[in-house]
């Protein structure tokens, strides 16, 4: 596909080899395509990095989908945006020449939620996902058949995502067939070094980003 199919403003940096896996970086509310690049480089040295900017603006802040209130999502918009993001990943794979079967998402907050929605609505898009501060985006009926590995890394003291919500997300993904690992840290909504260390160890132990 040609560049006009790449409908998200984004950054792509190629990895060490044409066969390398790809890390899809998905920012939180108010972030942009630059926010998670340092984290991607730190956690996945040598991987392709694909980092899109959310198309929705909320009070001038980029997001990946609309919401009615904190934790109350516009499900119709979410479904359309998730499929749009999945199409973008497919188009980017063709345009940049990376393997579409070897894409792992790393999302924070709103980015984690759109990653979960993509897995649930277009299950072949993502091989694995690291979800920082994620919650249940929607519950498809019927559930898809997932073959993805997922790390959910949340905070016990998060005022936005409760421990019960974390468990609900893990349960939903497991019922859909995903292999889910949950880490709860003594933290709020912001990321900590414990999150990053856990994600790095998980990516290595699961060989998610191995060539």
Q: Residues 87, 99, 181, 189: which is the catalytic one?
A: 189
**CA 61 to CA 55: how far, in whole Å?**
10
Please indicate whether residue 27 is annotated as part of the active site: no
Peptide bond into 142 cis (omega under 30): yes
Asked if the structure places residue 98 within a domain, the reply is yes
What is the structure's pLDDT at 45? 86
Domain harbouring 192, CATH code = 3.40.50.1820
Low-confidence ranges of the chain (pLDDT < 50): 1-4
What is the structure's pLDDT at 211? 53
Asked if the structure places residue 138 within a domain, the reply is yes
pTM of the predicted structure, to 2 decimals: 0.95
Q: Residues 27, 51, 109, 185: which is the catalytic one?
A: 109
Asked if the structure places residue 122 within a domain, the reply is yes
Please indicate whether residue 158 is annotated as part of the active site: yes
Please indicate whether residue 189 is annotated as part of the active site: yes
What is the structure's pLDDT at 77? 96
Which residues span the domain enclosing 150? 3-205
The total of structural domains in the chain comes to 1
* Neighbour order of strands in the sheet with 10-13: 10-13, 48-52, 22-26, 103-108, 128-132, 149-155, 179-185
Q: Residues 35, 116, 158, 185: which is the catalytic one?
A: 158
- What DSSP element (H or E) covers 69? strand 67-69
């Amino acid at each position: 596909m040609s560049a006009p199919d790449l409908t998200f403003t984004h950054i792509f940096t190629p990895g060490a080899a044409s066969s390398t896996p790809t890390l899809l970086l998905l920012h939180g509310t108010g972030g942009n395509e630059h926010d998670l690049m340092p984290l991607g480089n730190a956690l996945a040295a040598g991987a392709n990095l694909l980092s899109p900017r959310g198309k929705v603006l909320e009070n001038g802040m980029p997001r990946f989908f609309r919401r009615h209130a904190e934790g109350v999502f516009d499900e119709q918009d979410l479904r359309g945006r998730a499929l749009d993001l999945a199409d973008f990943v497919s188009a980017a794979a063709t345009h940049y020449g990376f393997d579409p079967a070897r894409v792992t998402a790393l999302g924070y907050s709103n980015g984690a939620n759109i990653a979960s929605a993509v897995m649930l609505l277009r299950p072949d898009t993502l091989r694995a996902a690291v979800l920082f501060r994620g919650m249940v985006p929607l519950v498809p009926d019927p559930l898809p058949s997932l073959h993805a590995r997922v790390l959910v890394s949340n905070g016990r003291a998060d005022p936005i995502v409760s421990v019960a919500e974390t468990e609900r997300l893990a349960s939903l993904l497991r019922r859909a067939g995903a292999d889910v690992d949950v880490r709860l840290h003594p933290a709020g909504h912001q990321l900590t070094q414990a999150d990053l260390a856990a994600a790095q160890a998980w990516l290595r132990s699961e060989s998610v980003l191995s060539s």
